[in-house]
Structure 1
């Protein structure tokens, strides 16, 4: 009887030990899986997935216009304004004269080299293509790009020289489409009165008149026209108002990226 009792007690103790051991192992595993570090990682992953679902991104804002319409100064002011609103923003310019292609373009624009009209058009286009991937990466990371001239300038200036407008567009198809195009509207005559006019190849009054006509042929209803002859502060304020609305819309994920002149 004593032997039997000890055996029963021993079995009972072994059972309890097994249960306690499993319970302990479960708790260790549970708290290991739910450690603060893992919880933070899980939360970050969930936030990342949620952010991707929302499609929040930076905006692609393009300023266009005739030479000496004030694009460069307004682009700089616009980036400063956005940064003041705690919005990540960068200023881009086309042509980008720092690349290999850009250096060839710069030589042409400063009259130190001569190129066929078709050739220079394709070089301008190539200059935009070589920045396309970086542009998309920046936008998807949440950075707004304020761009001084884009594909529209390429088409307007080349078609003003007599090239077929559809041929000019062809090399630009597939580049990223802007979320906003702001056209700084000024007459060629008024632009010619501004300081520094005539320093580069295209800054000739008669040619700028042709460029103005080309812009009229390629613009669409989505463009925002801003009177560039009004005081610089008024131009700045008007641009801020239309750009901040566009940036907010992109941040909310309401505008997916699209391609330029795609059907």
Structure 2
């Protein structure tokens, strides 16, 4: 089997930027790898996700319970593994993924009461890794950012890209719960937490990248 490294974090945590920086650095070093970004919005397997995020099942994230919504995302990942990257991974390839099963642990588990979240974490592990046969990540980099800062980054992104926030990104209370849940999930699953803010301000992009690259190097050296 190959290696699977996953970037995770709440909306507005800078995942896409850090993901891009890592891929460029690995390319410059001649490392062979492939990338995936979830959800696969242009693929038929994401149809239910697009309907959910577009508010067709309800205007609030809580209108679709954690277990139901998780299956939408799980099916999209299963399709990608079977059609796109499974053979490469099984033959020893390095996969980098922007979001993965980990996203359900952050965004969907936040709908559950705090005392019930570990039950959900265990169910999610069984669903995607054991029953559906998706690979367990070798390294999950969880980018942790205070919600007030992620809110600022989301509004700036909307302005710069002329896009409209989905039902997750519009709900700041939901994003606060996601952050707390993400840290709870990181502890439960053993993820690597990258603290992206210091003294109430975001660390520089290069500073965060340096820490991420160090963790990736350590992972790639492991047998």
TM-score (norm 2): 0.77
- 8 Å contact kept, 1:88–1:142: no
State the match for 2:142 in structure 1: 183
The higher-RCO structure (CA 8 Å, 6+ apart) is 2
Tell me the number of residue pairs that the alignment of Structure 1 and Structure 2 aligns. Answer: 193
Please tell me whether residue 154 in structure 1 is matched to residue 98 in structure 2. Answer: no
> How far did 1:88 drift?
1.1
Query: Map of 1:19-168 to 2, 5 A cutoff?
Result: 58-111=2-55, 113-114=56-57, 116-117=64-65, 118-133=67-82, 134-162=84-112, 165=117, 166-167=119-120
Rg comparison, structure with higher value: 1
Tell me how far apart the structure 2 counterparts of residues 132 and 75 of structure 1 sit (CA, whole Å).
20
SS class of match (2:137): coil
Three-state SS of the structure 2 residue aligned to 1:193 is helix
Say what the alpha-carbon RMSD is for the aligned residues. Answer: 2.2
Structure 1: state its 5+ residue gaps: 1-56, 255-263
**CA displacement at 1:59 relative to structure 2:** 1.9
Tell whether the 8 Å contact from 1:180 to 1:222 is kept in structure 2 after alignment: no
Aligned pairs for 1:172-251 (under 5 A) are: 172-174=128-130, 175-194=134-153, 195-196=156-157, 199-203=165-169, 204-220=171-187, 222-228=190-196, 229-249=202-222
In structure 1, distance between residues paired with 2:101 and 2:79: 13
Q: Which runs of 5+ in 2 are unaligned?
A: 59-63, 159-163, 197-201
Answer whether contact 2:10 2:106 (CA < 8 A) is retained: no
